[in-house]
Amino acid sequence: MVETTYTVTGMTCQHCVKSVTEEVGEVRGVTAVSVDLPTGAVTVTSESEPDLAAVRAAVEEAGYQLATT
């Protein structure tokens, strides 16, 4: 298992957390998603290194932005 942490901007409430968790959780190979609302940290557990483009697309589908790292 691989854990990768991203920073997502624009989340302000538990609805935001739920939306991001659901969308990122649908990315192929992702087995778990944990969101820390105060910091915007989204930790993704997956079978292998997740596809950044797919994670970015999922975050955008939820209505938020992946911070540039």
Q: Say if residues 5 and 42 touch (Cβ distance below 8 Å).
A: yes
Which residues lie closer than 8 Å to 17 by C-beta, 6 or more apart?
11, 35, 37
Return the closest-CA partner of residue 34 out of 48, 49, 18: 18
pLDDT of the residue at 10: 95
Q: Tens digits of per-residue pLDDT, 42-55?
A: 999 999 999 999 99
The most distant pair of C-alpha atoms in the chain lies apart, rounded to whole Å, by: 29
Average pLDDT over residues 27-56: 96
Which stretches does DSSP call E strand in 1-69? 2-9, 30-36, 41-46, 65-66
Calculate what percentage of the chain has a pLDDT beyond 70. 97
